[in-house]
Structure 1
Amino acid sequence: MARRILPPTRWLTALRRVLLGLIVVPVGTALGLTLVDSYRRRGKKPGRFPTTPPATVQIGDNAVTTYTFGQDLYDDMLAAIESAERQIMLETYIWKGDEVGEQFKDALIRAARRGVEVYVIYDNFANLVVAPSFKRFPASLHVLRYPVWSAGLRFWDLSRYGRDHRKILVVDDRIGFVGGYNIGTAYATEWRDTHVGITGPDVWDLRRAFADFWNLHRRRRIGQSHPPLVLEAASQWEPRVRFHRNVPRLWMFPIRAMYLEAINRAAHHIWLTQAYFLPDQDFVDALKQAAERGVDVRLLIPLKSNHIVADWISRGYFSQLLASGVRILRFKEAMVHAKTATIDGTWTTVGTANIDRLSLTGNYEINVEIIDPEMAEAMEEIFAVDESGSLELTRDEWEARDLHRKFTEGILQPLRPLL
């Protein structure tokens, strides 16, 4: 009996239906979830959450201070800006035009007036909702607005699509700050994040990170040129403190490799704190294999983040993680935005990169890697405090979830590669 062959029009109809299922339905579901979540959040304020005071660890000639409460961090950052004598470099992803945002802007303008060279970078896409008036700066400041459309006419060049997700402040070769905090009033008291401040020779590496980005993206057109940044200082090598930078334009993505190498070497414990956990399968497998060989693997994430779609997609990994023995802790009272990890009482990282595709293989990011027992102990204390404000998700609880939740997770699964 001859096999029936569908005419071309029927094939096209079938193809359209498949594309509808793979693209339109997941995107529509994501938009619906976002709208409902935005409505539910109106007027709601986060509760109080546990934090730790700033603590400083000496690593060679460097002093590293950890910050887990935004106001503590902002106070020290603004004090550093006010004391600047020669140069300030500020780079941020989000810069709100609110009270805290104005404090930073005014401090930078005052510094420029007293003769300090002030360089500023911010991501224009991340600040589309910020009033244009706030984003106007006097000519005394050198400001690089990383463009909304960064590919220009080279729309086929995927290396030009990354956002600038970094958060850096460097003042006078003297002190540098890096971590998860953006600039805004809500972040000062309502979000739980982690930043580090560094004084000592390794500040030079933060300066270099800023200068390399500035020189790679500065405009050279007439009337719109940005002066190049030339670094006179020489780097002093400190093997226990290293900065890893993702640079999409150069196809450099070392942060993912840094994580995987440390996870694969773990022998006792891996404690991760992540705002958005949407890893690739290799990353999931590394955590599973660590747990299966007896490593205490704990993943601390928000109970409810500010991106509900990311939450739903992240849940798609829970079954295999829990089955392997990974413990999942959900921070209750606030949005935890930290991107940190500590392993085996020796290894630590703090930075801007989330464990998701956008951060690990897409955006400009920077993480500091520190191999030092005292720093690891400080980060373990922070993790313990965060854990005290968290709910643990058990395997039985997860497997007993409602059918509609499983259905929604399945619908959103095609969006994983996009986030």
Structure 2
Amino acid sequence: MSTQQRRSTDPPSLFRQLAEQALARSAGAPLVNGNRVQLLFDAAANFDAWLAAIRSAEHSILIEMYLFADDDFGRQLRDALQQKARQGIAVYLLYDWLGCWREHYRHFFRPLKDAGAQIRAWQPPSFGGGLRLLGRDHRKLIIVDGHTAFIGGLCASSRWQDWRDTGLQLQGPLLRDAIAAFSDSWQHLGDSPLPDIETDNAPCGEVAARLIATTPATANLMRLDLLIAGFARERLWLTDAYFMGTGTYLAALQQAARDGVDVRLLVPRSSDIGWIATISRTLYRPLLAAGVRVFEWNGPMMHAKTAVADGRWARIGSTNLNVSSWLANRELDLAIEDDALAQQMEARFLLDMDNATEVLLSGHAQRPALKHARSHRQWLPVRQQAVIGAAAAARQAMRIGDVVGAAVRGTRAVEHSEASAFFSIALTLLGLAVLIVLFPRFVALPLALLLTVAGASVLARAISLFQLRWRKKQHPPGNPPTTTPPPDDDLSA
């Protein structure tokens, strides 16, 4: 065979090998075969499956949960865990302090601890922690008996009862990676490691998937999302709760749409964090101009974080398409390479379209406009709105992405069609400025506290480094410290 003939036959195989290598390196996780995955849509399916698995647990339960609320379902789940702990089942619970700050200080988890459960909080405020408060454990993971895992976007709260969200049940060899991800988080919070968990990792299905356990600054899923945007040839359908994509990711979506890929983005209309929805809308026009189709969910809240490409690849997990999830948080997602499951995800996406309103470019100004008028918002009681809004604001206060920064700095072209969104942002910033002028003490005290914590943290770190340097000077490499032998009468002890 001639060299030219070999070149004509080699590229397809070579491309597949390079694509697999690129996916593995971007995700930081290998493709594992032999798994069984069941898709679980919305709270009813997920919560019922969680409780059934926990109540049947025989030796261990591991939970890593961003938000564990003191409400009807939160207490129901806590009671189920408490009962298993009293039966001698090993229960390990890791919750995020910022997601559960009220529960943390109201001792919501004390009954579990009293029953024998091992409980740790992810990075509560401390002088040694400093600004690590910005990086949260945003994962949603439950592992029962080392045999069954639940992954997705749902938290342990009754709030999800009315929300649209997606999770999954996982069994098979990937349970090893799930336990390793939990163990890594657990190890970060204490000296005692997670004991060995009995596992059943035998192949039990035909699904090939990658478990992507993102940690701060690794950007594993960000690289993978960019790669999938480049690899998609026919369809790329995205669902996201808090969309604030970076300029690089927005450009990848625009280029895919210009190349003829059917790119669709489904986001919430009525978000539990209203300012994020406002910022998301400033991104619509350039996406729509490139051919990306944007839809807003008409229900109470769209909280799913999913993607599906070409009816072959799908992603489900906790990662939002924003800088906070990509670079600051601990997140957990499952990237699935399976035609049947990807097609189920596509079917669900089309079903969601029936309850969404498309945003179009219309008029001579080419401004984003809804295809159909929005229905009236379903309002919650004022007290409930205030509690939910305050909790959400506390969790998200420091998470504005690079979108606002880009607009303020002028590094992104801002069109006149975005005037209303930026007007809202401007009023908010000016309102905050007025409050600062009128009530400076309310700003000065939190700022002083933040600076004190940050300064004390840096000082503590400096002292520990000075101590380390002093110890190295006292015992330089190659000269280990000498020890005094015990007295002769103690040698036989």
> Which structure has more RCO (C-alpha within 8 Å, separation ≥ 6)?
1
Q: 2:43 aligns with which of 70, 95, 100?
A: 70
Give matches, 1:7-22, under 5 Å: none
The 3-state SS of whatever aligns with 1:206 is helix
Q: 2:331 aligns with which of 365, 369, 373?
A: 365
Work out whether 1:149 is the aligned partner of 2:125.
Answer: yes
Match of 1:106 in 2: 79
Picking from 202, 226, 240, the partner of 2:208 is: 240
Change (3 A) 1:412 1:202: farther
Which structure has the bigger radius of gyration?
A: 2
The answer to whether the Cα contact below 8 Å between 1:245 and 1:253 also exists between their aligned partners in 2 is no
Task: Give the 3-state SS of the residue equivalent to 1:182 in structure 2.
Answer: coil
Counterpart of 2:88, as a letter, is G
CA separation of 1:229 and 1:300: change in aligned 2, threshold 3 A: same
The percent identity for this pair of structures is 32
Residues 277 and 403 from structure 1, CA distance in 2 versus in 1: closer, same or farther, beyond 3 angstroms?
A: closer
Deviations 1:215-268 (A, max 9, x none): 1222x4xxxxx55333565977998211112112xx322011111111100100
Q: Is the 8 A contact 1:123 1:145 kept in 2?
A: yes
For 1:134 and 1:259, how far apart are their aligned partners in 2? 37
The verdict on how the C-alpha distance between 1:300 and 1:364 changes in structure 2, with shifts beyond 3 A counting, is same
The alpha carbon displacement at 1:307 in A equals 0.7
Q: Does structure 2 conserve the Cα–Cα contact (< 8 Å) formed by 1:313 and 1:409?
A: no
> Separation in 2 of the partners of 1:337 and 1:147?
24
Find the counterpart in structure 2 of residue 263 from structure 1. Answer: 229
The 8 Å contact of residues 95 and 121 in structure 2, kept in 1 or not, is answered as: yes
- Closer/same/farther in 2, CA of residues 318 and 409 from structure 1, 3 Å limit: farther
CA distance in structure 2 between the aligned counterparts of 1:233 and 1:132, rounded to whole angstroms: 35
Shift of 1:110: 0.9
1:94 maps to 67
Show the 5 A alignment for 1:174-189. Answer: 174-187=147-160, 189=161
SS at 2:113 equivalent? coil
Deviations 1:71-129 (A, max 9, x none): 22111111100100111001111111111011111111111111111000101111123
Alpha-carbon deviation of 1:172? 0.6
Residue type at the aligned position of 2:142: L
Match of 1:286 in 2: 252
Question: 5 Å matches for 1:8-407?
Answer: 61-130=34-103, 132-136=106-110, 137-139=112-114, 140-149=116-125, 152-153=127-128, 155=130, 161-187=134-160, 189-218=161-190, 220=191, 226-230=192-196, 240-248=208-216, 251-396=217-362, 399=367, 405-407=420-422
After alignment, is 226-235 or 297-306 more displaced?
226-235
The offset of 1:63, in angstroms, is 1.8
Alpha-carbon separation, structure 1, partners of 2:350 and 2:68: 30
Structure 1: stretches of 5+ with no match in the other structure: 1-58, 221-225, 415-419
How far the C-alpha of 1:205 sits from its partner, in A, is: 1.6
CA gap of 1:314–1:409, structure 2 versus 1, over 3 A, is farther
CA contact (8 A) 2:63 2:93 kept: yes
Q: Deviations over 1:182-216 (max 9, x none)?
A: 011121x2111000111222222211111111112
- Give the counterpart letter for 1:378 in structure 2: Q
TM-score, normalised to structure 1, is: 0.77
Deviation track 1:306-343 (CA, whole Å, cap 9, x = no partner) reads: 11110111111111000000000111022010000000
Q: TM-score, normalised by structure 2?
A: 0.66
Does structure 1 residue 411 correspond to structure 2 residue 439? no
> CA shift at 1:303, angstroms?
1.2
